Amino acid sequence: MSGKILLVEDDTSIATVIRSALEDEGFAVDRCDSIAARDKLLASGKYDVMLTDVVLADGDGIATIGSVRAACPTMPLIVLSAQNTLDTAVRASDTGAFEYFPKPFDLEDLVRAVVQAAGSGARRGEEAEAGDGLPLVGRSQAMQAVYRMITRVLRNDLTVLILGESGTGKELVAEAIHELGHRKSGPFVAVNAAAIPSDLIESELFGHEKGAFTGAIAQAIGKFEQANGGTLFLDEIGDMPMEAQTRLLRALQSGRIRRVGGRQEIGVDVRIVAATNRDLKPMIASGRFREDLFYRLNVVPIQLPPLRDRTEDIEALAKHFLGHAAREGLPERRIDRAAIALLEQQPWRGNVRELRNAVYRLALMARDDVIDAQTITSVLGEDSAHPTRPDDDDGLRSALEGWIVGTAPAPGTVYHRALAAFERPLFEHALAQTGGNQLRAAKLLGINRNTLRKKLGDLEIQAESFVRAD
pLDDT of residue 155: 84
pLDDT of residue 469: 55
- Cα separation, 307 vs 349, whole angstroms: 8
pLDDT of residue 408: 43
- Cα separation, 300 vs 292, whole angstroms: 15
Phi, psi of 453, rounded to the nearest 5 degrees: -60, -45
Distances (CA, A) of 285 to 83, 239, 279, 291, 336: 43, 15, 11, 9, 49
pLDDT of residue 386: 52
pLDDT of residue 196: 84
**Residues pairing with 8 in the sheet:** 32, 52
Q: How many residues does the chain have?
A: 470
**Contact call for residues 406 and 436 (beta carbons, < 8 A):** no
Question: 184 and 245: one domain?
Answer: yes
pLDDT of residue 135: 66
**Contact call for residues 165 and 301 (beta carbons, < 8 A):** no
Strand order in the sheet with 300-303: 188-192, 231-235, 271-276, 160-163, 300-303
Q: Please tell me the total count of domains within the chain.
A: 4
pLDDT of residue 388: 46
pLDDT in tens, 45-94: 888 899 998 888 888 888 778 778 777 777 888 888 887 677 777 777 77
Question: 166 and 255: one domain?
Answer: yes
pLDDT of residue 232: 96
pLDDT of residue 63: 79
Question: 165 and 118: one domain?
Answer: no
- Cα separation, 442 vs 427, whole angstroms: 9
Which parts of the chain have pLDDT scores under 70? 1-2, 84, 120-135, 382-422, 468-470
- Beta-carbon contacts of 423 under 8 Å, excluding residues fewer than 6 positions away, are 387, 455, 459
- CATH number, domain with residue 334: 1.10.8.60
Alpha-carbon torsion angle 211, 213, 218, 221, nearest 10: -120
Question: 100 and 18: one domain?
Answer: yes
Radius of gyration of the chain (CA): 27
Question: 96 and 223: one domain?
Answer: no
Question: 176 and 225: one domain?
Answer: yes
Range of the domain at 286: 153-303
Strands 55-56, 59-60: parallel, antiparallel or unpaired by DSSP?
Answer: antiparallel
Question: 172 and 299: one domain?
Answer: yes
- CATH number, domain with residue 424: 1.10.10
Question: 16 and 115: one domain?
Answer: yes
Question: 30 and 139: one domain?
Answer: yes
